[in-house]
Amino acid sequence: MEQGRQGFRRARRVMSRSFAGVLVAVGALAAHAQNAVPLDVPFVPTPSETVNAMLKLADVQKSDVVYDLGSGDGRIVIAAARRGARAVGVDIDPQRIDEARRNAKSAGVDERARFVNGDLFRADIHEATVVTLYLLPRVNERLKPKLLAELQPGTRIVSHGFDMGDWKPERTVAVGSTTIYLWVVPAKAQ
């Protein structure tokens, strides 16, 4: 029984690593093929069921300001704006930003949804009360110091698929075959 459980955990770790490998390879090929901006993570959209679960896990309210770092076609930003929140997407790829702005306009939420073309590592995120991520393990790890330094205590962070190394999540939820993670930014050390 215990051996079976260990085997399952091992298989899950291998699957997660190979998925990350596929994401990196797809991104490198896409950037090469289009001579586009180098991406830290390729565009892979979050399924709508997972988007809803992420916003529910973060308990997004009208009073929230939601930032999606690496916002792709804008689906998380648009879903947050549909809930009445103000939402901001940051993406380094100008094509994604154009697409996201068009999508927000057709969804009728462009007054509450803003998209910034830039590097997520340089974005001004201080006003966020919720941050959403669908990146990669090493990108989450690189981002962690910025999140802890720049976000206000109490800000909720939700990640699709990948954790944040030794920063243990407050909650994890399984959505189909994927996992979403929730952290809350702690009070600053005095």
Interface residues for ligand SAM in 140-159 (CB under 6 A)?
Answer: none
- Sheet of 130-133: strand order equals 113-117, 86-91, 65-69, 130-133, 156-160, 178-184, 171-175
Q: Which residues contact 103 (CB under 8 A, 6 or more apart)?
A: 73, 74, 75, 78
10 vs 17 by CB, closer to ligand SAM: 17
Residue in the block written with tokens 């995120």: 125
Which of 159, 86, 164, 167 has the alpha carbon at shortest distance from 127?
Answer: 86
**Among residues 55, 97, 113, 134, which is the contact residue for ligand SAM, using CB under 6 A?**
134
72 contributes a contact to ligand SAM by CB under 6 A: yes
78 contributes a contact to ligand SAM by CB under 6 A: no
**Among residues 20, 46, 109, 115, which is the contact residue for ligand SAM, using CB under 6 A?**
46
Largest separation between any pair of C-alpha atoms in the chain: 55
91 vs 169 by CB, closer to ligand SAM: 91
How does strand 156-160 pair with strand 178-184?
antiparallel
**Among residues 53, 58, 90, 157, which is the contact residue for ligand SAM, using CB under 6 A?**
90
Whole-number minimum distance, CB 179 to ligand SAM, in Å?
A: 14
68 contributes a contact to ligand SAM by CB under 6 A: yes
Q: Within 13 Å, how many C-alpha atoms sit on residue 70's CB side?
A: 20
Q: Which residues bind ligand SAM (CB under 6 A)?
A: 39-41, 43-46, 68, 70-72, 75-76, 90-93, 96, 119-121, 134, 160
